[in-house]
Homo-oligomer: A and B are copies of this chain.
Amino acid sequence: MKRRPRRPRGGVAPIPHRGILKIEALPYTPLDDAAVDAIHASALEILATTGIEMWNVEARAIIKECGGRVNEAAQRVWLDPGLVQQQISAAPETIAMKARDPNKNLTVGGQNIVFGAVGGSPFVSDLDKGRRYGTLDDLRRLNKLIHVSDVLALGGGHLIEPVDIPVSYRHLETTYCDITLTDKMPRATALGGIVARDIVTMMALVHAPAGATTDEAIAALVTTPVVMAVISVNSPLRYDGPMLEGLIELANHGQVPIITPFIMIGAMSPITLPAAIAQQHAEVLAGIVLAQCVNPGCPVIYGGFITPLDMQSGAVPFGTPEATWTLAAGAQMARHVGLPYRSSGALTTSQLPDAQAAYESLFNLWPAVMARTNVILQAAGWLDGGLVASFEKFMLDIELIERLFAVYRAPRVDTTALALDQIDAIGPGGHHLDSDYTRKRYRNAFFRSTLSSLAPHETWRDEGGLDAAQRANRAWKDKLSAYKPPPIDQGVVEALDAYKSRRIEQIMGAEGDTLSSR
């Protein structure tokens, strides 16, 4: 196996845009150095002694070839510390990713933070029609809202489950929407090798060099990351077959797996937060080792998603103090192994876009930013434990993200800003309302909220006495009506249409075969 030097992956030159929040300040670090070392050592011990299941024969063969120990009957692999350290050091610290609009290219990792919207909810809701199953029309509208928000750097990615589209080819329709309705870099869900292959192919059609065949376009992607996709771990310590297929497919084509265990503490890990973090670290490292064995130096993102299970009620609360701690501790562990880190944003268990939704979301979103999470998924729209993508919650979360951008846009402290001449000129008891200094600056002096009501009580009451959720309802309709589709090459659309139609035909044909052979 060839080793490559550790360096940023990808050939594009990203341009800074508002969608990237850059945090130079020291991140929030709940773990001290000794704790980081202890957790890392624990994860290495877990991989070497307990091992991890990989339910895919190809994955196990790759691990064995790479130097791991394998028990085929148990579908379990063991990784020694030297192997783990060697492999993870091959993965790049930052990833230069290409979007359909080159102005929306992204460097993922380092001091950069990017936000992505909700993903995978079976239900949608709005104040007009309530809670209901999602459809492709809902997914389209969410993609449009993503496109018009300049604080979401990531495009769509199977935002909801559109139940009006058969599961067998749903990924083709959602990926088509994700690619065409916005020119931001899409995410995806790489459940199974066939799905991953379809996504990689469609992305290749988008980014195909002039005159290239589809195979040539796919080959060209290997050094150009254009899509990221969540690879879930079935905790504790198990990778399922479809996820391993997806991981291998992505790694082979130089696309970016976000390796993410989902751990409910006390059920899928021991009931202490440090144990959950150690187990998560072990699980992620195993996936990274596999990716590096598949394609040395390929880009990967370290994902974390930990939540308590309240055993007294059976509830799974989100946006908890435990989440605050674990997602920040996870960021430290990702930095410890030099990888970009993904966690989640505006999580809440609330059934409504109410005060609970706001505080739980902010108790998850802000620490994700403070911990310098490079990729914050589920950052807009998540409601009801993720079962619902809410249009009002989407706008509420956009407000939270806009505020976070403003919080970290610190003013320069210099002579002009300190303005001692102004303080002296106005003097005690005066006011600065109509000074030239004020007139020159007042338009852009402060953050302006789109969702908050700042009117006096009487004005607010006379204008209908709306709450924040009702204003959010108006806001998403305004945003939708302002949507303009981004330009796209007609040849690309035709290629995508043709590919999608052909694949749907194949899949329907295969299903027909399956049905007729029963």
Contact = CB atoms under 8 A, between A and B. Distances in A.
A76 interface: yes
A62 to B, nearest CB: 18
Contact of A267 (B273, B433, B469): B433
Given A420-B42, A453-B351, A359 B360 contact: no
Contact of A266 (B45, B432, B468): B432
A486 to B, nearest CB: 29
A469 to B, nearest CB: 6
B270 A452 contact: no
What's the dominant secondary structure at chain A's contact region? mixed
A32 to B, nearest CB: 8
A289 B253 CA distance: 69
A356 interface: yes
Contacts of A417: 272-275
A200 B237 CA distance: 65
B360 A452 contact: yes
Contacts of A355: 353-355, 357-358, 396, 467-469, 472
A457 interface: yes
A442 B267 contact: no
A128 to B, nearest CB: 17
Given A271-B438, A423-B275, A317 B449 contact: yes
Given A308-B445, A423-B269, A431-B268, A457 B359 contact: no
Contacts of A53: 428-429
Given A362-B362, A413-B274, A418-B39, A452 B237 contact: no
Nearest to A469: B355
Interface residues of A, number: 118
Nearest to A282: B423
Nearest to A25: B30
Nearest to A49: B424
A387 interface: yes
A165 to B, nearest CB: 24
A453 B442 CA distance: 42
A366 interface: yes
Contact of A30 (B273, B400, B410): B410
A252 interface: no
A460 B351 contact: yes
B325 A410 contact: yes
A36 B412 CA distance: 12
A50 interface: yes
A274 B418 contact: yes
A321 B359 contact: no
Given A278-B420, A355-B357, 7 more contacts: A46-B423, A131-B457, A236-B430, A238-B429, A317-B454, A350-B453, A358-B362
Interface of A: 25-26, 30-31, 34-35, 38-39, 42, 45-46, 49-53, 76, 131, 234, 236-238, 265-275, 278-279, 308, 310-313, 315-317, 320-322, 324-325, 349-360, 362-363, 366-367, 384, 387, 396, 399-400, 403, 406-407, 409-414, 416-420, 422-424, 426-433, 435, 437-438, 441-443, 445-449, 451-455, 457, 460-461, 465, 467-469, 472
10 contacts: A236-B426, A273-B411, A308-B446, A350-B453, A353-B355, A355-B469, A358-B358, A358-B359, A359-B399, A367-B407
